[in-house]
Amino acid sequence: MRAYSLIAPGKINLALEILGDRPDGYHELAMVLQSIDLADQIDLCSISIDSIRVRCDHPQVPQDKTNLATRAAELIAAQFPQAFAQYGGVGITIHKRIPVAAGLAGGSTDAAAVLVGLNLLWKLGLTQWELQELGSQLGSDVPFCIAGGTAIATGRGDQLSPLPSLDHLYVVLGKYRSLTVSTAWAYQTYRQQFSSSYVADPQMAAREKVTLHSSPMVKAITHQDGVQIGQLLHNDLERVVLPQYPQVLQLRDAFHNSGVLGAMMSGSGPTVFALCQSYDQAQQVKDRVKGTIVDPDLELWLARFSPAGIRVVS
């Protein structure tokens, strides 16, 4: 039986700016994305029957066709019917460590791992760029999850420019177990409340994206300047999620007051992260916040910035 195991890292946003509406109904974004080593493990193996079977050890992850990992396998099977016929079905097991619906691209990274794994299992010979093109049909974050590291992401979030890697930094991540935020809800609410400030002229939006390449955040990353990066963290979606979820704001404030480089919500939330210089500092911050917010619903993780996306381990 042929089988592969893959590590699928989560991501945080160091910057998320919403520029305006796109003709496809999505938003035009200017983001800086960073992989972290809080990761899922995805096991793929050939099975004797001609079907795609997904199992996951987490109760919140659907095991039907709404699972993005299932959709990734179905997409590849539809695009390469001969390979599917030749190699047969696939069993996919997701060992979930990244919190679900948390703004950390947990579903997208599982789908990314399925694309990378099936490329090997079915000997398709696709390049990383081709896998990223397929991934963008599944979700805006999937191309980044395949590539990983540190990158500028524009368009829907699927147009990537790599940046120098920042793997000396750490984050403490905090999320209330029972709290999830729908990404679609966050963007729709932002549109309802703030679309009057959208850049209407496509040329101006294009200029804003180019400006990002010489922005203070990108300069700070190039200089590996953690202090500056912490001060420049920015996420437009905080404007809609924090007023709706005061607990998330309280958590961000608790991180801020722990002497970290910076603290911010990741993506559409509700996960909040605190940027730290070292493992020891991150451990201290984690302990301090655990003491400040005594709530069994709050989960905290410590993670390091990761220079890579999907990795095949065996």
Q: Is 219 a catalytic residue?
A: no
Q: Does 267 bind ligand C5P (CB under 6 A)?
A: no
Give min distance, CB of 139 to ligand C5P, in A: 4
Q: Which of 35, 140, 189, 281 binds ligand C5P (CB under 6 A)?
A: 140
Q: Which of 184, 200, 294, 313 binds ligand C5P (CB under 6 A)?
A: 184
* Residue 27 or 175 with smaller CB distance to ligand C5P: 27
Q: Does 245 bind ligand C5P (CB under 6 A)?
A: no
* Residue 25 or 125 with smaller CB distance to ligand C5P: 25
Size of the site for ligand C5P (CB under 6 A): 11
The binding track of 185-204 with respect to ligand C5P, each residue x by CB under 6 A or -, is --x-----------------
Q: Does 11 bind ligand C5P (CB under 6 A)?
A: no
* DSSP code string of the chain: --EEEEEEEEEEEEEEEEEEE-TTSSEEEEEEEEEEEEEEEEEEEEESSSSEEEEES-TTS--STTSHHHHHHHHHHHH-HHHHHHH-EEEEEEE--SPTTSSS-HHHHHHHHHHHHHHHHTT----HHHHHHHHHTT-TTHHHHHH-SEEEEEETTTEEEEE---TT-EEEEEEETT----HHHHHHHHHHHHGGGS---HHHHHHHHHHHTTSHHHHHHHTT-HHHHHHH-EETTHHHHHHH-HHHHHHHHHHHTTT-SEEEE-TTSS-EEEEESSHHHHHHHHHHHHHHS--TTEEEEEEEB-S-SSEE--
Q: Does 183 bind ligand C5P (CB under 6 A)?
A: yes
Q: Is 11 a catalytic residue?
A: yes
* Residue 10 or 157 with smaller CB distance to ligand C5P: 157
Instruction: From the candidates 110, 141, 158, 236, give the one annotated as an active-site residue.
Output: 141
Q: Which of 20, 99, 103, 157 binds ligand C5P (CB under 6 A)?
A: 157
Q: Does 26 bind ligand C5P (CB under 6 A)?
A: yes
Q: Which residues bind ligand C5P (CB under 6 A)?
A: 26-27, 29, 139-141, 156-157, 183-184, 187
Q: Catalogue the active-site residues.
A: 11, 141
